[in-house]
Structures are given as structure tokens and as C-alpha cells.
Amino acid sequence: MIDDPDRCYAALQARDPRYDGWFIVAVSTTGIYCRPSCPARTPRRDRVRFFSTSAAAQGEGFRACKRCRPDTSPGSPEWDQRADLVGRAMRLIADGVVDRDGVEGLARRLGYTPRHLHRQLRAEVGAGPLSLARAQRAQTARTLIESTAMPFTELAYASGFRSLRRFNDTVREVFDLTPTELRRRARSGASIGSSTLRLRLPLRRPIASWLITDHLAVRAIDGVEQVCAQGFYRRSLALPRGEGVVEFAMRSDHVQAHLHLTDLRDLTAAVDRSRRMLDLDADPEAVDAHLAADPVLAPLVAAAPGIRVPSYPDPFEAAVRTLLGQQVSLAGARRFWTRLVARTGGVLDHPIEEVTRRFPSAEELAEADLAGLGLTTRRERALRHLAIEVAAGDIDLRIGADRDVVRASLAAVPGIGPWTVEEVALRGLADPDAFPETDLVLRQVAARLGLGDDAAQLRARAERWRPWRAYAAQHLWTNAVAERRAA
């Protein structure tokens, strides 16, 4: 976006909320940076600068606007699309890797030197990994300040700061307010509990929220997930420093979320995984406009504007669930998932109602007794092979993994075919262009709509849907469900 400043300024003049998160607007005369939809008076063109990230604006001495709160805008969908070094780095930083492992740990995960990584990020987004992580820590700190009654000393360390002084200095520098003033302005002063947070997760409209709710409900695993009254969905999360339970309720302009964490330092990771799980950083208008250019897809897009592609919070979980779901019905796959969790899933120290377990890790599955789950011998072997390879680090199924490398690694596992590989890319790596062309339901819908009678024809037609083939697939699946319900 910032390579086209005229387009950025036009979005600013229109106060277009679709571009919130795509770029930051900084005003030289006030020293403030805003989101494009800020309701303040539009500054003159010669007084504004555009940045890719808040960190880049902060690095130039600008402070966050107190009115539009640019730190609470949706994330940029660019990092979901891009599979290069910068895209992977931004996904990992969003998950809190720099706070946990430092820049050196981030560089190791990516396979580059810290110097090369810093140079690439500076060139692309205007800030290095430390600055990006600092901006994220400031956002986490603000969330905890406004959502909890935690003492600031505890809050500083939970946000990722190494000292109370650095916490105070950063909050004052970024928001032009002290932590005490931020808490006073929030006027909440209390939380549900010391480790539970109420949050509003921002999104871009439109959103087909009913589809996300339905998708989660029909795939819920007993013990790990629970579909509650009033559209609430609850599930456990395995996080870097502990466990958590997240609750979602879809709204028209945001997602209401409750996060129950055993370690508040996991807040950054929990929010990031929740957002990816619900695909909240998507740009629905761009996706819809692109897919609606195909006359066959246009009616499907009109029937479900703002469609999202839900995913799982952990790529390894996606791989296991997909592997067990090969060539069986959704009901059959759900039975396998539930049996596996009952046998191997860890019991939560702090269960909430029916959510009592977490999905097993690769290390747990590598050592588990898989006999008696009803799996075929071939599938049981494939599952154990996958778990052993992931546990040993020979297959990287972590957030931020190289999508092409993951595809090649999974394809080399006996018992895993092209459908499973693309499903993992779609539901585990959140690749917006993943497309399981051999999927039986996709092929049936495609044939009925005149898109082709076999996988090769469907693949050829899908070329015009790039880079949003995952959304096209979701439209086709949604159409199949609608047709079954209408029959």
C-alpha cells in the first residue's frame, strides 16, 4: 500500500475502515499516527507520511492517536498472503517469538542470520524485529492495563518487558499517557480474574459469521471444544508457557472473546492464534471482488459475502485431524478425534465446564498407544510417523513454517497424499491460496456448476481465483452444505 501514496491518501480522505491495518498515517505537524479511518480532520497531503507498521511510525518519533487507537485495528492481510521471509517473520513476531526467544531465536527459526533478517524487515516494513516486538509489547501492555487490575510490576513482565522502567517509558512514549492515566481513562479498573481477560477482537466487514460458527460446531471435539448457548464457542489452547481456554462470540463488527490463561505472558500468542483461527485479518471486500469476477462464483459470493476460512490454532493439530479424516465422513472423523483426545490429550489444570482437555502434542502422540482407536493399520502408521518426525524436528509444523517446505515434508510421509497436504496448508498454515483440488465434495460441486468434471479441469479453472483459492474452495463447500439442507 505505501508504495502508492496517492491511493493511501484517498483512503484517508474517505476514512475507509477497510484499510485499517494495511498502513499507518502519520501527521508531521502533530507528531501523531492514526489508522486511515480516524474521524479527526483530514490533514493536508504535504503533512502526512505513510508507514507499513506502527513500529515504523514509532521509530520516527510519532505517538499513537488517542482517538482512533491504531494499535487496536485489524492486522494486515498482507502477512497471510506472503510466504517469503518477511511474511514468515511477521507471523512469528505476532505469535511472540521475539519475546520468548529473542531476535537470535527468530532468525534460527527462519534459517537466516539476525543481521540479514533485520536488513530485510527494515527494507520492507520500516522497522527491525526488536522494534516490531516492542510495538507489540506496548499493545499487549495496553490491553492488560485496561482489562485487568493487575499491579503494574506484574503487568510489565506479563507484557514481555524486562523492567518496570522500560515498561513505563514505552507506554508513555507510544501512547503519550502513563500506565495510570491509561487505566483511569479505561474506567474499568477490574477484571473477571487475574488470569482472565475480556477482549474485543477487531475485524473487517463484511463477515459471514454464521459460517464460522457452523464450521466450528460440526467439528467440535468432546473435551477440547464446546459449543455453548447464545452462539458462544469455547476451546482449549496449548500455548508456549502454559495452557489456556478461549471463548468466542461472533458479532457484526468484532468478536467478543474471553481468554483464560495460566500465564498472562501467553496473551500475545493466544490473541494471534485466535485471530488466525477465525481468519479475522482477511480483506473480505478484496477477496469478494476478485472471486465475483468469475460468473460461476459470483452468485456464491453474493450469498455469503465476507466469507472466512477458519483454521486450527496449531498446524500439528490440523495435520492430525486431517490425517484421521481421510476418506471418512465428518462424523467418522469426529469420532476418531474424540477417541484420540480421550486417550492421549492432556488434562487441563483449570478446566472450564466441558472443556477439560487439550489436543495432544507431537511428543505425546509419538509415545502413545494408538491401538484400539479404530484406525486402519496404514493410518495408524502414518500418524505415528508424522508425530515422530514432528517431535524430532524433521518436519516443521509450527506457526511461521515455510509453506512450500511443509508441503514437501508432508508429501514424503507414507500414507499422506495431495488432499491431506493441501488441507493442512489451508486449515493449519492458513494459506489463502491453498486448494485441495482432489476433494470429492469440491469436485462434485464443480461438476454441478459447470466448472469441470475432474481435478485437472477444476485446477485449471482455479488458476483465475489466485491468490484466493482457499476462499473459493470455502464458497464451494458452503454451497454444497446449502444444497444438502435444501434437499
User: Which residues in 277-316 are b (16+ Cβ under 10 Å) and which e?
Assistant: bbbbbbbbeebbebbeebeebeebbeebebbbbbbbbbbb
The number of CA neighbours under 13 Å toward the Cβ of 102 is: 5
Helix, strand, coil tally for the chain in percent (to 5): 55, 10, 35
Q: How many CB atoms neighbour CB 402 within 10 A?
A: 17
Closest CA to 75 of 288, 271, 258: 271
Residue 308 and residue 74: Cα distance in Å, rounded?
14
Catalytic residue among 71, 279, 431, 439: 439
Residue 144 and residue 38: Cα distance in Å, rounded?
24
> If you search the block for the grid coordinates 446449502, which residue do you land on?
482
Structural element, H or E, at residue 199:
strand 196-202
Q: Is 439 known to be catalytic?
A: yes
CB 341 within 8 A of CB 235: no
Cα dist from 418 to 116, 305, 438, 474, whole Å: 34, 29, 8, 18
Q: Is 80 known to be catalytic?
A: no
Residue 414 and residue 81: Cα distance in Å, rounded?
29
Burial of 198 (0-12, 13-18, 19+ CB in 10 A): middle
C-alpha cell at 121: 524487515
> If you search the block for the grid coordinates 515498561, which residue do you land on?
167
Catalytic residue among 8, 34, 38, 65: 34
Distance of alpha carbon 155 from the chain centroid: 24
DSSP for 23-40 reads BEEEETTTTEEE-TT--S
Coil/strand/helix, residue 127: coil
Reply yes or no: is the peptide bond before residue 467 cis, omega within 30 of 0. Answer: yes
Residue 66 and residue 39: Cα distance in Å, rounded?
11
Residue 300 and residue 124: Cα distance in Å, rounded?
36
Active site residues: 34, 439
